[in-house]
Structure 1
Amino acid sequence: MGRPRTSLIDRERITTEALRLVDARGEFSVPAIARRLGVQTGSLYHHVDGRDGIVELMRERVCEAIDASMFATLPWDEALAAWARSYRAAFAAHPRAIPLLMAAPVRAPRVLEQYERAVVMLAGAGFAMGDTMKVIIALENLILGSALDLAAPETMWVVGDTALTPRLAEALAAEPEGRAAAFELALEGCLERFRALRG
């Protein structure tokens, strides 16, 4: 039987299946991807550099949804806020990938280029070079925590007997948009601190 004229697998298909597995199970394996694609496990290694390579392909795929165009067009604080919202939405679409991606160093050139643009913008806005990564990492901590929060159950506090926690029940009833409002509150808090850091 001759070889197929077109490959059954490529990096795009491998990435898609890996991300589907992670979205469903929170994990993936190279043999599981191969089974889903109907090929031998060894065939995948002709296209990717093992498990670490697949993780970076997933990172690239998730980060493709992050809009970084504002770094070149908006004032630094507006650009960071817009980037944070886009970043949060991209990772909220794949929350089970967050622990996996955060456990591996960022190596993907297309993702590193986005960080380069952020550093250039911050340096151009007057931030000391020693502060630029502190700003980015602080913002990422907020973004990724919030993205995970979006995947949590709609109701995180179940108040059965309001007599036991009456003020908590009142607070929950008073803020129906808790998650969105909390993210914006924290984001503005970060930006205020960054403005002070910039001097």
Structure 2
Amino acid sequence: MGRPRTPLLDRERITTTALEIVDAQGEFSVPQIARRLGVQTGSVYHHVDGRDGIVELLRERIAQRIDITALDIRPWDAALMTWARSYRAAFAAHPRAIPMLMTSPVRAPRVLEQYERAVTLLLEAGFPLPDVMPVIVALENLVLGSALDLAAPETMWEIADDAATPRLAEALDAIGDNRADRAFELALEGFLRHARHMLDTQAQA
């Protein structure tokens, strides 16, 4: 028999299958991937560097949706704002992957390239080297927390008796639509305002 035109197994199919499982249940195992693809577990290991390798493939797949060209924008704060919005949108599409990726070291070369460009952006803007990673990590915390918030129910506070918490009830009634988006933009502007202040303080020192 001739060889099949399409390989039965490759890294793309493994990544797609792993992401489908993570989107459904928040985790995956290599045997689950193998069963879904109709192959032996050992066959999966022929294409990837174990479970950690699959995690990094997932990180790369999700990060492909982040607009890395945003980091070429100037000034630096406009670049971070655009990058943050794109970063949030990419992870909001796969919120159940966030806890897994946040607790696993970043090794994927394409993802490390984004960090390299973000570090370069901040250094060129004048941030001291010791402040660069805290600024990036703080922005990531904001972005990923908001991506999880987008996956939450629109109504997160259920009040059985308005009389018991009248101010809260009024505030919830007044919030309107797009709660998560409004909260994200508020937090992002606050973050950037503080980062600008850090930079101004450094310049005056």
Same fold (TM over 0.5): yes
Distance 2:141 2:112 in 1: 17
Aligned ranges 1:1-199 → 2 under 5 Å: 4=4, 6-176=6-176, 177-199=178-200
What is the match of residue 203 of structure 2? none
1:24-45 residue CA offsets vs partner (Å, 9 max, x unmatched): 0111000110111111111111
Identity rate of aligned residues, in percent?
71
Distance 2:157 2:139 in 1: 26
Whichever residue aligns with residue 77 of structure 2, its letter is D
Distance 2:48 2:35 in 1: 16
Name the Cα RMSD after superposition.
Answer: 1.2
1:47-73 residue CA offsets vs partner (Å, 9 max, x unmatched): 100100000000000000001212112
- Structure 1 regions of 5+ residues with no counterpart? none
1:105-164 residue CA offsets vs partner (Å, 9 max, x unmatched): 000000000000001111111111111101000000111111111111121011221111
- Structure 2 regions of 5+ residues with no counterpart? 201-205
Please tell me whether the aligned partners of residues 135 and 195 of structure 2 are also in contact (alpha carbons under 8 angstroms). yes
Please tell me whether the aligned partners of residues 68 and 114 of structure 2 are also in contact (alpha carbons under 8 angstroms). yes
Whichever residue aligns with residue 58 of structure 2, its letter is M
SS of 1:106's partner is coil
- How far does residue 3 in structure 1 lie from its aligned partner after superposition? 5.6
- How far does residue 16 in structure 1 lie from its aligned partner after superposition? 0.2
Distance 2:72 2:183 in 1: 28
Answer with 90-99 or 67-76: which moved more.
67-76
Distance 2:63 2:74 in 1: 20
Distance 2:179 2:99 in 1: 24
Distance 1:50 1:142 in 2: 31
Whichever residue aligns with residue 179 of structure 1, its letter is A
Whichever residue aligns with residue 158 of structure 1, its letter is E
SS of 2:21's partner is helix
SS of 2:16's partner is helix
- How far does residue 74 in structure 1 lie from its aligned partner after superposition? 2.7
